[in-house]
Structure 1
Amino acid sequence: MFCLFSLFFLFVIQGFCNLELEVVYTNTVICAIKGSTMHLTGTFKNTRNYKTEIFWTLTPVNMTDDTKRLGDPDYNGRIQELPNGKTHTIKLSHLRHEDEGKYCLRVVTRVEIQDLRPCAGIELRVTDLRVETPAEVVEGDSPVLTCKSSCNLGSSIFSWYRNGESFSESVRQNQLILQSVSREDSGNYSCAVRDLKNLPSPALTLNVRYPPKSVSVSVSGSAVIVSGDSVTLSCSSDSNPPALNFTWFKENQSLAVGSGQSFSISSFNSSHSGRYYCKAHNKYGSQRSESISVTVEESSSSWVLITAGVTAAAFVMFVILMVFILIRRKRVTPSEEQNHRGSGKTVESPENLYMTLDPKSRCSEYDTLDIMKRSCENTDIPEGQDPVYHNIGK
């Protein structure tokens, strides 16, 4: 009977003491970022000033491990107790996902009683940050980027970065709004809680899609295209995704002349000369290039023939000119003859130079003159008239 009374007395005392040592926590749920530092605080009331032992315990979230007393070697110097009267705080640094669980401040009045009751405690959640974007972003869209976490970070203010540099845009809580994006907005985006900029999320690539731009045509091979040469035209563009469809056109022709990123003409001739352009296509649109002129040049043998022809023509003209000059020198004008007669000097007629020649030979010489008006066989010349000027006068 006495033993039963003693056990009952101890049970009442334990319950009574536990009711006296009430613990109040500043926060009951805390969401913290992996790698950050967190302070957990609890305050107890000891109105009767019982002798107590105060310590913190952790009950893991997965409940596969038993409740353990903080200070285990697992923390490896990451935990620090900061007691201040009836308020006890622990500082937990470099948070890990293994640190998640329920933290309780235990106030035990009798060391030998280890049957600790469940407590309200502080539920600690550890989260990573990650950036989420729409599955597809096309040039001209206004996508919303979201900084995600596995637990509620409350009213935290977020900072955004692009390619590692601070990026200022419209910020609404944990969202970044990009207005009317272009290809220049493509890049690696990350986010961080403003007070924890050293703990940003992993970067996520924003891939802005756009139709072909800066489409151009280039000609391979020599700059001089000779008849019979092989000519290849290449089409290039800037697009995302890369253009896979290319169409070739020749100006003043309505139908396409080819397809593919390269267009080849195996034996180029003058009929192929003209202005060519290409069109590049992807799923978001198309664009055409500027036209490029492709013209066949004459071959080297053709140039040799042309040069020889010009040289021969020049030589013939030179010979004709020399003959004309010689004939002009053999002619004497009537005025010159009259002057010579007045001076008493005898002017030898040019005809006398040919008197020793056979008449037929002499006649053939004058056949070259268009002004000759009589036959070579007619050698009768009126008396007193100069033979040379007689022929001219006729």
Structure 2
Amino acid sequence: MESCVLIILVAMPGVWGGAWGVTFGDLCALKGTSVVMNCSYDYPSGYSVTNVGWSRPHYAAASGKWRLFFLSRLPTPPVHFEYVGDYNGNCNLKIHDVQRTDEGNYYFSFVTTLDRYTSTTPARLSVKELTAIVRPSTVAEGDDVSLTCVLGCPARTAVVWFRDGQRVLKPVFQARREDAGRYYCAVLGQETVRSASVVLNVQYAPKNVTLSVSPPRGVVQGSSVAFACASDANPPVTPTAYSLYKDGQFVSAGQSHTVLGVQPSHSGLYRCQAWNNVSWRGVDLMNSTEIRLDVQYGPAYISVSLEPQHAVEGSRVNLTCSAVANPAADNYTWWHKRTDSASSSPGPMLWAGSGRVLTLPAVEASHAGL
């Protein structure tokens, strides 16, 4: 009886059972993200890997030369570099919270029971940052604005937009004045990875133009009154770009106007007009609500009329007193100064009555006088 012997050959690592070598590619990463540098290595079969390590060129001050230093010896935060490979052909390296200082060349080396090997060419890490672009950065209210986030790395990455910390849903919109602020883009799901902020300046025509008067009421003839204009605008309205109008007629240019020695002729409807070289729906000049200035003054131009103009003794006579005043006079007092017929000299002033009209039912000689 013949016997048969089965011989099983098992090839232990290297994985490929080939020559010494390390395979990896260059990597581009956004600042602040965590990335994995993919890497594989090979070595002759029959040997075991006893140690692995990543290193970077570092300037050695003592020798004045550049040397490879293991990442564990470099001044970096704990677990900034994390080896996520194995001892069987996978040499992946994870870098947490990538920074500009991480940019550069990386080398992988490993030690087997036979020999040690270091990659002859490096893997290069490029570190980029998100760049926010707002076009245009200065815009008139109602115009279109577009937001563009430049990644810097070729890999497609989803991004989101924020304005002053608040989420922006649309990257293209018509600008409103409340859209002004600081914009930045960030990686979706890693919002701490963000660009620098870019300011959007939204210009708009004057709004809420107001005219105030001081004092607001009770302006008396001979006193002073001050007018002041204000508005909400971007760019702000310069003082010389305000104008004051009375009853539709230009009064003066400037944000403020003071009248000394107010007269009744200053009464009327006043409004303020403002402009800042920005139009709103084709309108350049914006007006405030009109304010009425009512100058108060005492009775003036007092006159007395007689009806009938020629009175005879015993007839009825009405004396009417007229005056210009603001507010209108509401209290009239009549006085009578008799004339002495013998001497033709006026006598004492006597009270004769009250009211705008004084009626003498039957005229007598004693009524003669002033």
Q: Secondary structure at the match of 1:207?
A: strand
Q: CA deviation at 1:221?
A: 2.2
For 1:217 and 1:92, locate their aligned partners in 2 and report how far apart those are by CA, in whole Å: 63
| Higher CA-based Rg | 1
1:241-252 alignment runs, 5 A limit: 241-244=235-238, 245-252=241-248
AA aligned opposite 1:41: N
For residue 55 of structure 1, the aligned residue among 53, 56, 59 is 53
The answer to whether the 8 A contact 2:36-2:94 is kept is yes
Q: CA RMSD in A?
A: 3.7
- Structure 1 residues 66 and 86: CA distance shift in structure 2, 3 A: same
Number of residue pairs matched by the alignment:
294
Aligned to 1:30: 27
- 1:231 correspondence with 2:207: no
Q: CA deviation at 1:92?
A: 1.8
Identity percentage of aligned residues? 27
For 1:317 and 1:296, locate their aligned partners in 2 and report how far apart those are by CA, in whole Å: 27
For 2:275 and 2:146, locate their aligned partners in 1 and report how far apart those are by CA, in whole Å: 28
AA aligned opposite 2:229: C
Residue segments in structure 2 that go unaligned for 5+ positions in a row: 1-17, 59-64, 279-283, 301-324, 337-350
For 1:110 and 1:89, locate their aligned partners in 2 and report how far apart those are by CA, in whole Å: 21
For residue 144 of structure 2, the aligned residue among 142, 167, 184 is 142
The answer to whether the 8 A contact 1:276-1:292 is kept is yes
- Structure 1 residues 132 and 311: CA distance shift in structure 2, 3 A: farther
Q: Secondary structure at the match of 1:205?
A: strand
- Structure 1 residues 34 and 223: CA distance shift in structure 2, 3 A: same
For 1:46 and 1:295, locate their aligned partners in 2 and report how far apart those are by CA, in whole Å: 102
- 1:185 correspondence with 2:179: yes
- 1:316 correspondence with 2:353: yes
Aligned to 1:217: 211
| 1:284-305 CA-partner distances (Å, limit 9, x unpaired) | 1431222211121124997999
For 1:88 and 1:219, locate their aligned partners in 2 and report how far apart those are by CA, in whole Å: 80
Decide which structure has greater strand share: 2
TM-score computed with the length of structure 2 as normaliser: 0.68
Aligned to 1:289: 288
The answer to whether the 8 A contact 2:157-2:187 is kept is yes
AA aligned opposite 1:316: G
For 1:210 and 1:304, locate their aligned partners in 2 and report how far apart those are by CA, in whole Å: 43
For 1:225 and 1:315, locate their aligned partners in 2 and report how far apart those are by CA, in whole Å: 34
The answer to whether the 8 A contact 1:226-1:299 is kept is no
Q: CA deviation at 1:146?
A: 2.4
Aligned to 2:43: 46
Q: Secondary structure at the match of 1:71?
A: helix
Aligned to 1:351: none
1:125-204 alignment runs, 5 A limit: 125-133=126-134, 134-149=136-151, 151-152=152-153, 154-169=155-170, 176-177=171-172, 179-204=173-198
Residue segments in structure 1 that go unaligned for 5+ positions in a row: 1-18, 170-175, 328-364, 369-394
